[in-house]
């Protein structure tokens, strides 16, 4: 599996297919395989004539595990994505992120719009601005001795998912505490790349897709019917909407 170093942090990634590049950024507690390969995103995009690149975020998958929460600021994680573009000598690419990956994509789009041909913000709507559940409860869930010891329902959901993906729980505790920066409404209004915001209709973690899209000039909203935060990522409506957006975006 290909890897590269960015500021001393080893980042693992995959690079498959040919055509216009799209770089995928997975969500919290996930990895490139769970978020993008097992859900058929990579094969779907390859079949649509796309070169697909996906990284394991720091603290996740086969990338380096860090235990200092300050190492997981959204701007630093966006820097890993930018460094991967540099490593592959790509001047720009479409970027699609889900949940934490959407937050990272938004921060990258603000800091380096010249490198982002378009941005898909999946699984994170207006709560990108308003904030999601407090990270402390999720961090405690990650550090609990067992899943049965976790009573908070949101923390329990994330802990169960982290165990399923065989994640480093201590690294995830640091990540959740360090990566929950929000965007101001003014900052959202300065995003100057084509944007699709796609969130499940039952996703209370991400919040309204329409409300966030209304803050971003020219952004489109896609509501994925009947899906919550965990189930929306592989949905066929989500895939069809992204393919249509990529076809029509400037």
Is 68 a residue whose pLDDT tops 90?
A: yes
Query: Mean pLDDT score of the chain, rounded to an integer?
Result: 97
Is 115 a residue whose pLDDT tops 90?
A: yes
Give pTM, 2 decimals: 0.97
List, for residues 145-184, the tens digit of each pLDDT value: 999 999 999 999 999 999 999 999 999 999 999 999 999 9
pLDDT (average), residues 30-52? 98
Domain-by-domain residue ranges, the chain?
3-130+185-248
Q: Do the Cβ atoms of 250 and 234 come closer than 8 Å?
A: no
Taking the domain 3-130+185-248, which CATH number applies?
3.40.50.1820
């Amino acid at each position: 599996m290909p890897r590269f170093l960015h500021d001393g942090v080893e980042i693992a990634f995959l690079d498959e297919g040919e055509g216009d590049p799209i770089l995928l950024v997975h969500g919290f507690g996930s990895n490139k395989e769970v978020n993008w390969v097992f859900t058929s995103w990579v094969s779907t995009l390859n079949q649509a004539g796309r070169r697909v690149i996906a990284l394991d975020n720091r603290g996740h998958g086969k990338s380096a595990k860090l235990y200092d929460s300050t190492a997981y600021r959204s701007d630093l994680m966006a820097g890993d994505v930018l460094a991967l573009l540099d490593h592959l000598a790509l001047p720009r690419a479409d970027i699609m992120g889900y949940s934490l990956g959407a937050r990272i994509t938004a921060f990258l789009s603000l800091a380096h719009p010249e490198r982002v041909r378009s941005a898909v913000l999946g699984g994170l709507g207006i709560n990108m601005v308003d904030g999601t559940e407090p990270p402390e409860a999720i961090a405690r869930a990650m550090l609990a001795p067992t899943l049965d010891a976790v009573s908070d329902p949101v923390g329990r959901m994330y802990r169960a998912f982290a165990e399923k993906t065989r994640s480093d729980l201590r690294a995830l505790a640091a990540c959740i505490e360090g990566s929950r920066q929000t965007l101001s409404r003014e900052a959202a209004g300065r995003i100057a790349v084509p944007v699709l915001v796609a969130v499940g209709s039952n996703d209370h973690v991400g919040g309204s897709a329409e409300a966030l899209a209304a803050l971003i000039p020219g952004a489109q909203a896609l509501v994925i019917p009947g899906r919550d935060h965990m189930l929306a990522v592989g949905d066929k409506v989500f895939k069809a909407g992204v393919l249509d957006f990529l076809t029509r975006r400037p």
